[in-house]
Structures are given as C-alpha cells and as structure tokens.
C-alpha cells in the first residue's frame, strides 16, 4: 500500500495512512484525548476508521463493525471504570459517557485484539491501566489470551516530560482495570529493559507487542528490537506516540515491514499517532 499524505501541520492530512516506509514527524507530548477538530480538520472517530482498518488488516468490514458495536455496548465495562475512578481525587468530576472518550487508541487495541485473537500479548507502559483494560475486555470477549504487562511507575522527570502524568496518590500501576478482567492479566513491575527480555524468553513466541513506556528514541528501538524476533509470523508490533521521534519509522524500514499509522487529535497542538506493523 502506498503513502497517503503525511506532512506535519498539513490540515488536509488524513488521520490514517499506511505504507512501507512511513516517516513519523515530531510533535508535542501527549495526554488523554478524544477526537476533536484539528485547526479546521476534524479528526476521525474510530468508527470512521473502520473501512481503512478493514483494508489494512484484511478483515471483513462487517466483522469490524460487529466488534465496534460490541465495544460500544460494553456498558458494564464502562460502568466498572466509572466506578473505580469515582473515589480517586485526581479524576474528580470525570465520568466517561462512552468508551470512545477513553481515546481512539484504546478502542483500536480492542478491535485488533478481537480481530486477531492473540494468545500472548505483551505490553510495556501501564500507568492507570486503561490500555490494559481494553485489551483484557477483548480477551474476555474472545475467551482467549493472556496479557503480560510491564510498568515502572512514572517517578522519573524525564518520563513525565514525555507527557505521562503521575499515578494518583497511593495507587499502583493498573489500578483502574476492572477486577472482573484481571484473571487474564500478568503484571510485572520494573524496568522494561530488565523485564522485557525475561518475559520474552519465557514466552518464546508472542502474537502482539505493544510499546507505550519510555518514548525516547533509544528505548523504543530497544523494545522493538527485543520484541520483533519473538513475534510470530502474522503477529503485530504496535507502538503508541510514534509522533515523538523517528524510532517506529526507522525500525519498520529496517525490518522492511508494512506499517500503518492512525492519528487522533486533541487540539492543534496535540496529535497522537499510533503505529502498527505486521510481521510477514
Ligand atoms: C503513557 S503511560 C502508559 C499508558 C497506558 N498504556 C494507557 O494507554 O493507558 C507510560 C508508562 O510507562 C512507564 N515507563 C516508562 N519507562 C519505563 C520503563 N523503562 N520500563 C517500564 N515502564 C516504563 C511510565 O512510568 C508510565 O507508567
């Protein structure tokens, strides 16, 4: 598939493109998002992405619509998240009316997990546990899979500068994951530089790897280089915040993988890009 316009600051840029050598642009750090306008260009909702995801993932569109509808109708999941944040002062006044308000990227994780039914999913970067919760919800709906998560709580100022907020007072990584979803979760606390090689060695082969920890170029390259050889054929490398540097684009070029980047916007100053590459 070819490149479909990717210039930074170009409001005509589609929110999604797929290519063999995509270039991530630098942009400001990230935080929670939902899809809103970007200087006149309205970003896509996850529903609007479905046709492109269907083509890029080679999954029938009506199947993706079914998964999307299931996610929208996961009222117990939304209620459980709203319940768990209710008592947390840092989330005062926040109640999500719809799963889409928890960032496009997490809905993307749900859809990919439903579509490819991974047995072994490894992620770095948990923080509150929202991304983990969406993957675990999909695994519950799949009746299959285990999520292995690694997190080092964000005490390092350098990580905070990347846009990662602190954990709420007294909370441990993953605190927001609804209890009913924890049986398929294996959470390891520590530095991914130490724990990721250990988990990969134990698993041998994995189906999905998701990077969302330290977004420095060196660290992203290290995690991707560790995970890629363990990904099975047809497995997925996912990388959040690929807008922060060129690590994802350099890596996928280096291994000659077909990649896609989905974007979500919060404001003209804040763009998030989510990289996906399939191992063939
Ligand atoms: C952006 S947050 C993760 C958000 C989560 N994936 C979500 O979408 O809900 C990044 C997390 O990675 C952690 N982290 C940063 N460097 C790390 C490292 N070297 N090893 C493990 N975790 C790390 C941060 O402390 C923080 O908790």
R_g of the chain, CA atoms, integer Å? 17
Backbone phi, psi, residue 2, to 5° = -95, 170
Please state which CATH class domain 6-278 belongs to.
alpha beta
- Is the pLDDT confidence value at 224 over 90? yes
pLDDT at 271: 84
Label residue 264 by pLDDT band (50, 70, 90): confident
pLDDT at 154: 75
CB 259 within 8 A of CB 18: yes
Query: The pTM is what?
Result: 0.87
pLDDT tens per residue, range 97-128: 999 999 999 999 999 999 999 999 999 999 99
Percent over 90 (pLDDT), the chain = 75
Cα→Cα distances 190→155, 158, 254, Å: 12, 16, 29
Closest C-alpha residue for ligand 1 atom 24: 154
Please list every protein residue whose CB sits less than 6 Å from any atom of ligand 1.
124-128, 130-131, 150-154, 159, 164, 191-193, 212-214
Closest C-alpha residue for ligand 1 atom 11: 125
Pocket test for ligand 1, best of 214, 219, 220 (most atoms within 8 A of CB): 214
- The domain limits of the chain are 6-278
Pocket test for ligand 1, best of 101, 110, 123, 125 (most atoms within 8 A of CB): 125
**Ligand 1 atom having least distance to the Cα of 193:** 19
Q: Residue range 227-231: average pLDDT?
A: 98
Label residue 253 by pLDDT band (50, 70, 90): very high
Q: How far is the CA of 195 from the centre of ligand 1 (A)?
A: 13
**Ligand 1 atom having least distance to the Cα of 153:** 25
The CA distance from 21 to 253, in Å, is 5
The CA distance from 65 to 209, in Å, is 24
Structure tokens at 113: 């997990």
Q: How far is the CA of 1 from the centre of ligand 1 (A)?
A: 31
Q: Residue range 174-187: average pLDDT?
A: 98
Quote the distance between the C-alpha of residue 223 and its chain's center: 15
Q: How far is the CA of 70 from the centre of ligand 1 (A)?
A: 28
Label residue 279 by pLDDT band (50, 70, 90): very high
Q: What would the 3-class secondary structure string for the chain be?
A: CCCCCCCCCCCCCCCEEEECCCCCCCCCCCCCCCCCEECCEECCCHHHHHHHHHHHHCCCHHHHHHHHHHHHCCHHHHHHHHHHHHCCHHHCCCCCCCHHHHCHHHHHHHHHHHHHCCCEEEEECCCCCHHHHHHHHHHHHHCCCEEEEEECCCCCHHHHCCCCCCCCCCCCCCCCCCHHHHHHEEEEECCHHHHHHHHHHHHCCEEEEEECCCCCHHHHHHHHHHHHHHEEEEEEEEEECHHHCCHHHHHHHHCCCEEEEEEEEEECCEEEEEEEEECC
Q: What is the β-pairing status of strands 120-124 and 206-211?
A: parallel
**Ligand 1 atom having least distance to the Cα of 192:** 20
């Amino acid at each position: 598939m070819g490149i479909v316009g990717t210039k930074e600051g170009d409001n005509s840029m589609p929110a999604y493109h797929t290519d063999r050598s995509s270039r991530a642009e630098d942009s400001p750090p990230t935080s929670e998002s939902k899809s809103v306008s970007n200087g006149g260009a309205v970003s896509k909702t996850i529903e609007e992405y479905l046709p492109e995801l269907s083509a890029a993932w080679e999954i029938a569109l009506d199947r993706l619509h079914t998964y999307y509808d299931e996610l929208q109708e996961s009222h117990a999941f939304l209620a459980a998240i709203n319940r768990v944040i209710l008592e947390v002062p840092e989330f005062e006044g926040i109640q999500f009316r719809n799963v889409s308000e928890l960032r496009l990227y997490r809905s993307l994780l749900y859809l990919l997990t439903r579509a490819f039914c991974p047995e072994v999913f490894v992620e770095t970067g948990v923080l509150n546990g929202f991304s983990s919760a969406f993957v675990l919800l999909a695994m519950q709906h799949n009746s299959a899979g285990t999520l292995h998560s690694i997190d080092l709580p964000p005490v390092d100022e350098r990580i905070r500068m990347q846009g990662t907020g602190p954990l709420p007072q007294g909370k441990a990584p993953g605190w927001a994951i609804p209890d009913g979803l924890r049986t398929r979760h294996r959470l390891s606390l520590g530095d991914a530089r130490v724990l990721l090689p250990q988990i990969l060695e134990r698993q041998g082969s994995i189906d999905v790897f998701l990077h969302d920890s330290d977004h420095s170029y060196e660290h992203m390259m290290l995690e991707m280089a560790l995970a890629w050889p363990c990904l099975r054929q047809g497995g997925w490398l996912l990388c959040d915040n690929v807008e922060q540097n060129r690590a994802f684009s350099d890596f996928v070029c280096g291994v000659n993988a077909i990649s896609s980047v989905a974007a979500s916007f919060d404001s003209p100053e804040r763009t998030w890009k989510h990289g996906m590459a399939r191992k063939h």
